[in-house]
């Protein structure tokens, strides 16, 4: 996404694309339905915990570790020993989901610092490429995203531009900002690995910190996984194209993911009300 030009608030401008306002309104209604549920008045912490677990499972699924929810509950070792990459991916997703809520106060002042921290959490170990943007010639292990890889210079410039927009703030709806942060990180793949996991965790931070989903009970990761990897990548292609239609389609895709996350937590509320969860 270009962050230069005459428009002082390019994120807000995206809110005027065809269909985006409708997506924003639809997401707001879906989120309001969850927060209006009677269970949220008494057991919001339980709903938040369950949303975190399901969100981590959804994010991991999009990165190649598509485990059943009960398997995630059952497992205690996610170290990925003996070459178990799926366990390592699931562990990273769980850690990122837990960490996201701790970084809200830093995000608006230093988003690049938060992204570095998220990558450190995802890596969970010493590695020469952890917590810093990649350099030219360094490989990127993101096999599920087959897009041209921007140069290190382009990555640096676009990350700086994105950070500037976040720090400056503006009138863009939370959904638009979250979708752009998510899309930019997937398009740039600034780190050597775990970019998808970090991008989805950053989207979560925006949705929480913006006040749209302050209790983090509408996990977009659930929706992204439910819609499916093929649709996710197709929508990302639209974002990368930079066309108004492509950008609007990506924002709408992210909005639908939030709505499905809200639906998932509404079902959790109903189960808690029945005493079944």
- Mean pLDDT, the chain, rounded, equals 93
Q: For position 126, what pLDDT does the model report?
A: 58
Percent helix, strand and coil across the chain, each to the nearest 5: 65, 0, 30
- DSSP conformation letters of 199-258: HHHHHHHHHHHTTSSTT--S-HHHHHHHH-HHHHHHHHHHHHH--HHHHHHHHHHHHHHH
**Cβ(255)–Cβ(26) below 8 Å:** yes
The two structure tokens encoding residue 56: 């981590």
For 193, phi and psi rounded to 5 degrees? -165, 170
The confidence score (pLDDT) of residue 3 equals: 43
Alpha-carbon distances, residue 20 vs 11, 28, 215 (angstroms)? 12, 12, 24
Q: How far apart are CA 11 and CA 140, in angstroms?
A: 28
Better-scored residue on pLDDT, 124 or 234: 234
pLDDT tens digits along 104-114: 999 999 999 99
Q: Residue 9: which pLDDT band, with cuts at 50, 70 and 90?
A: confident
119/142 Cα distance (integer angstroms): 14
What per-residue confidence (pLDDT) applies to 124? Answer: 81
Cα 266–chain centre separation: 20
Cβ atoms of 143 and 181 closer than 8 Å: no
Is the pLDDT at 68 greater than 90? The verdict is yes
Rounded CA-CA distance 209/212 in Å is 8
**DSSP assigned state of 148:** P
Neighbours of 98 (CB within 10 A): 13
Q: Bridge-partner residues for 193, per DSSP?
A: 141
Alpha-carbon distance of 199 to 159, in angstroms, equals 13
Q: Which residue has the tokens 């009960």?
A: 70
Residue 77 CA to its chain's centroid (Å): 24
Highest mean pLDDT pick, 10-19, 73-82, 198-207: 198-207
196, β-bridge pairs: none
Q: Are 3 and 164 in contact (CB under 8 A)?
A: yes
Mean pLDDT over residues 2-20, rounded? 76
Q: How confident is the model at residue 80 (pLDDT cuts 50, 70, 90)?
A: low
pLDDT class of 72 with cuts at 50, 70, 90: very high
On the question of pLDDT at 59 being above 90, the answer is: yes
Q: Tell me the pLDDT band of 60, cut-offs 50, 70 and 90.
A: very high
Percent of the chain with pLDDT over 90: 86
Range in 2-11, 32-41, 61-70, 139-148 with the lowest mean pLDDT: 2-11
Cα–Cα distance for residue pair 105/258, rounded to 1 Å: 22
**The model's pTM:** 0.94
Distance CA(161)–CA(157), nearest Å, equals 6
pLDDT at position 4 is 39
Q: How many whole angstroms from its chain centre is CA 92?
A: 14
Confidence of residue 8 (pLDDT cuts 50, 70, 90): low
Q: How do residues 175-214 score in pLDDT, each as one tens digit?
A: 999 999 999 999 999 999 999 999 999 999 999 999 999 9
């Amino acid at each position: 996404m270009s962050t230069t030009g005459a428009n002082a608030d390019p994120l807000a401008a995206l809110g005027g694309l065809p269909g985006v306002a409708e997506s924003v309104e639809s997401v707001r209604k879906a989120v309001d339905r969850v927060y209006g549920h009677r269970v949220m008045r008494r057991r919001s912490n339980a709903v938040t915990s369950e949303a975190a677990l399901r969100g981590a499972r959804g994010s991991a699924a999009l990165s190649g570790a598509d485990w059943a929810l009960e398997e995630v509950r059952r497992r205690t070792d996610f170290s990925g020993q003996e070459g178990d990459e799926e366990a390592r991916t699931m562990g990273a997703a769980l850690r990122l989901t837990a960490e996201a809520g701790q970084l809200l106060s830093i995000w608006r002042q230093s988003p690049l610092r938060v992204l570095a921290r998220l990558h450190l959490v995802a890596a969970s170990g010493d590695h020469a490429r952890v917590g810093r943007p990649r350099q030219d010639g360094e490989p990127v292990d993101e096999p599920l995203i087959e897009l041209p890889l921007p140069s290190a210079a382009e990555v640096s410039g676009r990350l700086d531009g994105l950070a500037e927009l976040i720090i400056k703030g503006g009138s863009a709806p939370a959904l638009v900002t979250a979708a752009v942060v998510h899309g930019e990180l997937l398009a740039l793949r600034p780190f050597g690995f775990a970019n998808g996991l970090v991008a989805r965790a950053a989207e979560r931070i925006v949705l929480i910190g913006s006040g749209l989903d302050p209790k983090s009970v509408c996990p977009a990761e659930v929706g992204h996984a439910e819609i499916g990897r093929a649709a996710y990548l197709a929508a990302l292609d639209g974002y990368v194209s930079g066309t108004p239609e492509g950008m609007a389609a990506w924002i709408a895709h992210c909005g639908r993911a939030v709505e499905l996350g809200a639906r998932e937590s509404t079902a959790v509320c109903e189960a808690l009300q029945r005493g079944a969860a």
